Amino acid sequence: MLILKNSTGKKIIKSFSNIPGWRTKKKIVVFESDDWGSIRMPSKEVFDNLLKAGIDLLNDPGFRFNKYDSLATSEDLAFLFDALSSVKDYTGRSAVFTPVSVTANPDFDKICQAGFTGYFFEPFTETLKKYAGCEDSFALWKEGIDKRLFMPQFHGREHLNVKLWMKALQESHKKARVAFDNKMWGISTADAPEIKVEFQAAFDFIDKADLEHHKEIIISGLQLFKKLFGYRATYFVPPNGPFSSTLEPACFKEGIKILSVSKLQIEPLGSGRTRKSLHWMGEKSKSGLRYITRNCLFEPHHNGKDWVDSCLNDISIAFKWNKPAIISSHRVNYIGALDKRNRDRGQKQLGSLLKQIMKKWPETEFITSAELGEIICND
């Protein structure tokens, strides 16, 4: 068997993965950015508190997120909008982000007051008011929508597995309780086999009975989305990936038309069992949803790599096979609340990437995930 480990091999594999599915001769670029609205690391002080309490954040699989990611301040959003509006596509429209957003976060005070006997959440717009620099930032969200620079879609109600997190809190799990005391939950449970799933994986489960609870979360989350943004979400990216196909009808009923999945999706079945499924661009599910699969990566918060050149290569392969370039680029790349250098690096490289895209492919069209979904559904 020939094992391809070099860059040429990776390009061949990426080319093969782009072959199946919906095609277009247009040069379409979509930026999808996950995690907006969700708490990650509240402050540098909290980061230090967790380290002092013996929580090993330095070797945590999500270390870079815990080091750099937090709610976006008004300044963060202004910088991002400047970068996006600095480049126009061949139609004269600015580059645009699809911020894949949660609609709520846990209400830590109410949960604590109830002695961990019940779960309470608050709209993420209320969470923003509690963070320095974020108090008025939702006005920037609405400005981004009005200017078609920042068009939110759905990432779940919370970026949190509510039932399993509450179970850990009720059982006084040390790491979970220490993080809770600092109004944070985004710690890895990789070293806690008794919990069995990651807290960030909102729709993973052990007990099949949890699926009814997940349906309720999806429905209430989508209803809150419409209340906050004034329009229904049509595109859904489940947090961290794990997602049961049995939840798709509930999504469809509430207005979701497009579901983001990995090309090789690992679907939880309960009791630690999983099922692997292959997906392709534009595939239609039994529930009536269409699938979109990402094919480009841009994560400049990871140092030691030329992310602009790497992403341009991904785009080139997508275009070679007449596919839209769907770029995955998490919120963490554009956040300066914990370290302004992180934001400056991300914004600078984003600006460079956008300019290089238009230089290499002047016929490029920047569209949103929802707009791409409509094109696929109507083709």
User: How does 148-185 read in b/e, with b if 16+ C-beta sit within 10 Å?
Assistant: bbbbbbbbbbbbbbbbbbbebbeeebebbbbbbebbbb
209 burial level (CB within 10 Å; 0-12, 13-18, 19+): exposed
| Mean pLDDT of the region 190-212 | 92
Nearest alpha-carbon partner for 227 in 124, 96, 367: 124
Q: Mean pLDDT in the chain?
A: 94
* Tens digits of residue pLDDT in 227-286: 999 999 999 999 998 999 999 999 999 999 999 999 888 999 988 899 998 888 999 999
Q: What is the pLDDT of residue 4?
A: 47
| Mean pLDDT of the region 199-210 | 95
pLDDT more than 90, % of the chain = 85
Q: What is the pLDDT of residue 8?
A: 60
Angle at 319 between CA 316 and CA 325, to 5 degrees: 85
Q: What domains does the chain contain, in order, with CATH numbers?
A: 7-378 (3.20.20.370)
| Mean pLDDT of the region 351-369 | 98
How far is residue 97's CA from residue 32's CA, in Å, rounded to a whole number? 6
Instruction: Report residue 2's pLDDT band, with 50, 70 and 90 as the boundaries.
Output: very low
DSSP state of 19: S
Nearest alpha-carbon partner for 183 in 46, 37, 44, 35: 46
